[in-house]
Amino acid sequence: MTVPQEHDTDAIVRAAKAMRDGNAPEAAQQAAAKICLIVDDSRVIRKVSSKIARSLGYVPLEAQDGEEALARCKRAMPTLVLTDWNMPEMDGLEFVEKLRAIPTPKAPVVVFCTSKGNATDIHKGIQAGADDYIVKPFDEAALLAKLEKLSQE
């Protein structure tokens, strides 16, 4: 357990309360934080991805399936979404399609992090609305490089 993670949670709670209570200036200030939503049914993948996102200055949030992730996005749209494809309840492809249908001033960057790595799957993922794709198993260095590249675009 790291102290920055606790502080990140505090900031998110403050922002959520400010939005709930109608304190728009404070909510807008807190919303400026870079949020990374990590969607995967594997707790290990979520933890590794959270560590990498945090190292790049994101506040990581986690969801274990597409339904939970969609609900989080409807409450507050993240800056970046890392999503698996194969998940219970709602798979990643359906999640991305529904995510892209949500009206938002600034759409999040979406990256599939999945074992579905053939060309047809990659095309389906990009057609659904993903911005990039990384095939599992990946190591921390590969994900870090992909996210650094995306943050520069």
What pTM, to 2 d.p., does this model score? 0.76
| Nearest partner of 41 among 153, 146, 136, judged by Cα | 136
Whether the Cβ atoms of residue 67 and residue 92 lie closer than 8 Å to each other = no
114-118: which pairs have CB atoms within 8 A and are 24 or more residues apart?
A: 114/83, 114/84, 114/85, 114/86, 115/85, 115/86, 116/85, 116/86
Average pLDDT, the chain: 82
Residue 22 has pLDDT above 80, yes or no: no
Q: Return the percentage of the chain with pLDDT > 70, whole number.
A: 78
H/E element, 82: strand 80-83
Question: Using the 8-state DSSP alphabet, how is residue 20 labeled?
Answer: H
- In this prediction, residue 10 carries a pLDDT of 57
Neighbours of 84 (CB within 10 A): 26
User: Can you tell me the mean pLDDT for 100-104?
Assistant: 92
- Residue-wise pLDDT tens digits, 24-60: 443 444 445 789 999 999 999 899 889 988 888 899 9
